[in-house]
Amino acid sequence: MAIAVVLLTLGLVIIVALLVAAGAGKLARMDGATYPAALTRAATAFAAVITLAAAITAALTTLFA
């Protein structure tokens, strides 16, 4: 049961990170950035969301452990 919750949460985080990355890339492109620059901004946004999720998980783990 617990592994299912972990996998579903991981899937949700990945989907949210992909949506944020797509939005960042689209906004960058609308702002006039080139495709490589927009892709770089999208990758940065994706990495930021994943890093934030990892930091929150670590904080909650130490809080409830």
Q: Give residue-wise pLDDT tens across range 5-42.
A: 999 999 999 999 999 999 999 999 999 999 999 999 99
Domain residues for the domain of 38 are: 2-64
Instruction: Give the 3-state DSSP-derived string for the chain, with helices as H, strands as E and coil as C.
Output: CHHHHHHHHHHHHHHHHHHHHHHHHHHHHHCCCCHHHHHHHHHHHHHHHHHHHHHHHHHHHHHHC
Q: Could you tell me if 40 and 57 are in contact, meaning their C-beta atoms sit under 8 angstroms apart?
A: no
Model-level pTM? 0.90
The total of structural domains in the chain comes to 1
Cα gap 40→6, rounded to integer Å: 29
